[in-house]
Structure 1
């Protein structure tokens, strides 16, 4: 992997940043353009338009005579994971510049804002981050193309909530669309059927997170560790109410603590936990429910009435700039 000399990092020479203008539109955030110009004047910044393809943009720049030494991305978790897959493909370190709504991965990496991320880049401190490769195919088909995810993969209540939110998003926006989707889920959510190791189960949701996480959580959407190459699986069996099914999707510590105090979170006996290196299941959503799954906030829809989902932990998947560790 090409080194990143401090003298070049100080100006951003050799750094190629893709900025996703569509990320983080649900929150108020200052434009990073001035900060890029001030602290990374020699970096190349490319705006990702609505019709642009990230893979094509990066492929073109990597095939140029002066290919970049570092790939950077300003955006949310979906953009970060897509760029991580490309950084892995081309053997380049990744600079994560938080610009989304939740920034789960950036938060886990200690990259609280763009200035902190630039500090980490210029300090040259990196870490080898583990990830999960997920592939989904129709039950009768061969293995599908693997997608790299940095936080978690999920089926069940959460993907259906995201699917419903996206239906309302063009008219209502992300936040209000999410409120409407949650109200719909409280009325209409139904368990789905999964088959694992020949055993059939009715569940509200399945979360496959990267690295061990808080054992009290169901929705492991923000990872607790960056290097550990294991999958922490949470299977929420359908023994409780819809309200508990939706409450279990809370990922913020404070929100989850409040819901736990109000006895709205599912009891531990309803949540099966596995810590494994690989995980595979067949998903059967049932009539009237979409065949969907989510990876790092990105919704994927599968054809047919059922599909097979395979997740594999990947150690040292990508090198990421992080703040220096305290002595």
Structure 2
């Protein structure tokens, strides 16, 4: 078979071989050999994982995954499709040639595919790391022509296959981006934490191995006042005392704990008009992660820099004096989720299984398990009686599918993300079928809507609700609404 591009391909190859490239001789052949069997990329990935923090580890994993997909495509399809002979080496100076010449066919370039796949995969997760890796990947791809083992078209097609592999992986496993953390807000810059009063809940999160979160906060912000809350202390009382002291000093309120603890602190910060500093100290730390605060040190840096945003706060207000605090008009604030019915069980099952099988399969397994074992709850939603197994209301829209979403697009969009799974005849069977086929969002027993407020009435007794994972007896009537931009929080650098 005659290929029309072979003539210019050979001409370009000859031009590269005949030209002197200053500084390339001691570098490019070594770089080309280092990329054999992906060794160069695995080494870079290991360095990123060690030095790059959580985002660096994610970028490294995505880069290696893209490389694996590209290698599979080149070795199983590409090499066998066009059995092109390697270039003749007469025109290539001896000093450039590789000591061991490859034995496989020339088209496409596997090294170029791996290089492009790794760089594109890394860039999909982290633009900064992608920019750092791209010159190395380009050099490896060019080295294959420079050393005489590939024609230019081999390299171009190989690189295209690599980028395609990275895009394919991204389509199957979308990159999880941090949500918009709301409009910028003014917050005091507290050098060394002076004026910051922190309450650290020792009952939250896994046990400390070396030093407690309170010790780490004090080390990062030596001028801050840090008080530990044990199981014998009243969390609300400690937060109230800390908030009053912060207000007197013109500082900020800080909290370290799980999402339930952070919700209590948010209510206190709103009441006293204080900015809130969230130190991750729970098991999942959903709200802290949405703010980019993945470590105590990142929160400390945000406090000292005065970087803050306004975010929405959702409220659950009991209107009949029963349950949920016991007094009419008393509100419970939540930053993540409100739920009634079987949703808390679903979350626990999903999180337990996600560590073993991944998020999507775990969501399906959790939905099947809960729908098999739970019983529906009778509620009245905006005046309409409904029998539901699950009722979820998120503070702002969530982007993931199903009745148990976990990711948000924006922390200040002014709406509640409401998801319901109805009861009724054959609803359990239909919902289980939808869960098994991955079609939860299209099931007729599944409802989703974004609304600014929601009124619920719970005629029955013994029904429980949860705010950010904290369970309480459900009131007879409850109003869910929002305080748009009602909370100022310190956030990580975007």
The answer to whether the 8 A contact 1:61-1:67 is kept is no
277-286 vs 69-78, which moves further: 277-286
Q: Where do 1:176-215 residues align within 5 Å?
A: 188-214=373-399
* Alignment partner, residue 468 of structure 2: 296
Over the aligned positions, Cα root-mean-square deviation in angstroms equals: 3.5
2:437 to 263, 267, 282: 263
Name structure 1 gaps, 5 residues minimum: 165-180, 248-258
The answer to whether the 8 A contact 2:194-2:223 is kept is yes
Q: TM-score, normalised by structure 1?
A: 0.76
Is residue 241 from structure 1 mapped to residue 433 from structure 2 by the alignment? no
* Alignment partner, residue 323 of structure 1: 492
1:225 to 390, 410, 418: 410
Is residue 308 from structure 1 mapped to residue 489 from structure 2 by the alignment? no
Partners of 1:85 and 1:14 in 2: how far apart? Answer: 19
* Alignment partner, residue 167 of structure 1: none
* Alignment partner, residue 131 of structure 1: 313
The answer to whether the 8 A contact 1:105-1:222 is kept is no
Partners of 1:217 and 1:183 in 2: how far apart? Answer: 12
Distance 1:63 1:106, change over 3 A: closer
* Alignment partner, residue 449 of structure 2: 274
* Alignment partner, residue 188 of structure 2: 4
- SS for the counterpart of 2:458 is strand
- SS for the counterpart of 1:241 is helix
The answer to whether the 8 A contact 1:62-1:68 is kept is no
83-92 vs 116-125, which moves further: 116-125
**C-alpha distance after superposition, 1:125-156 (max 9, x if no partner):** 10001011102355889843011111111111
1:149 to 306, 319, 334: 334
10-19 vs 210-219, which moves further: 210-219
Distance 1:63 1:203, change over 3 A: closer
The answer to whether the 8 A contact 2:347-2:404 is kept is no
Partners of 1:123 and 1:318 in 2: how far apart? Answer: 18
Larger Rg: 2
Partners of 1:192 and 1:320 in 2: how far apart? Answer: 36
Name structure 2 gaps, 5 residues minimum: 1-184, 350-365
The answer to whether the 8 A contact 2:198-2:242 is kept is no
The answer to whether the 8 A contact 1:71-1:87 is kept is yes
The answer to whether the 8 A contact 1:194-1:203 is kept is yes
The answer to whether the 8 A contact 1:196-1:282 is kept is yes
Which protein is richer in helix relative to its size? 2
Partners of 1:24 and 1:235 in 2: how far apart? Answer: 29
- SS for the counterpart of 2:266 is helix
* Alignment partner, residue 294 of structure 2: 112
Q: TM-score, normalised by structure 2?
A: 0.52
**C-alpha distance after superposition, 1:46-98 (max 9, x if no partner):** 00011222232233344459546111111010011100111111111000001
* Alignment partner, residue 159 of structure 2: none
The answer to whether the 8 A contact 1:138-1:302 is kept is no
2:232 to 10, 29, 51: 51
